[in-house]
Amino acid sequence: MTALAPYPGFSETSPVPRHVAIIMDGNGRWASLRGKPRSFGHRAGVEAVRRVVEAAADIGIEYLTLYGFSTENWKRPQSEVSDLMGLLRIFLKRELSTLHKNGVRIKVIGDRSRFEEDIRRLLDDSEHRTANNTRLNLTIALSYGARAEITEAMRAIALKVRDGVLDPADVNEAVIEQHLATAGMPDPDLLIRSSGEQRISNFLLWQCAYAEFIFDEVLWPDFDRSHLEKAIENYAGRERRFGAVV
């Protein structure tokens, strides 16, 4: 992968978060500032995804989770949704070989039933082809909403209780985590949101219970390795106590 110049304040000896989650926000505003349609911003946002995935692998992050398309995004104008679906197709077709060659393992979380059949096939193929890669675990949240994820987990647990497979007394946090879409993944250490908005928008609500939050003013199409390294430098200076007193 292409090496990029490091952020001046970033130290290679700084603690690197094992799992970084990013809410990629600001494509529309970025395009509007340039007098362009929102689709122009989404296309630029794909380039930012490429840069950040490369940087995360180079830095040594083990897990990178990107909020690509929420359940609420289906409410956007049909023309914009169609354009986003087209970009998703292009990304999966063009980038899969490069991601696979560079040791990136792809996992997709969210409700795939709303995607057209060809996209579902592309998602399945991406996961299958990269299943044994170990350099970076890239999770893409598509048609994803944390409340829906938790609701589905509760439904699955309730069915097991009903069928006598699981005793209600045995339902604990570990059992719930095993039924989430992120089962087997560590919780995010660091959550970054671009564009300056300070909310998590129904993203990884359970998993981010003890994550460090960083809200960066930069719009997503301008996000690059320097912003990621600056966020990690900020993260490294924080004291994580997980509710305890040190």
| Choice among 73, 102, 202, 234 that is catalytic | 73
- Strand-pairing partners, residue 108, are 140
Annotation says 25 is catalytic? yes
Query: Which residue in the block uniquely carries the two structure tokens 């564009």?
Result: 195
| 124 carries an active-site annotation | no
Phi, psi (degrees; rounded to nearest 5) at 223: -70, 135
Cα gap 187→124, rounded to integer Å: 24
Which DSSP string corresponds to 91-149?
A: HHHHHHHHHHHTTEEEEEES-GGGS-HHHHHHHHHHHHHTTT--SEEEEEEEEE-HHHH
- The Cα 208–Cα 216 span in angstroms is 18
Catalytic annotation, pick one of 25, 189, 216, 224: 25
Q: Which residues are catalytic?
A: 25, 73
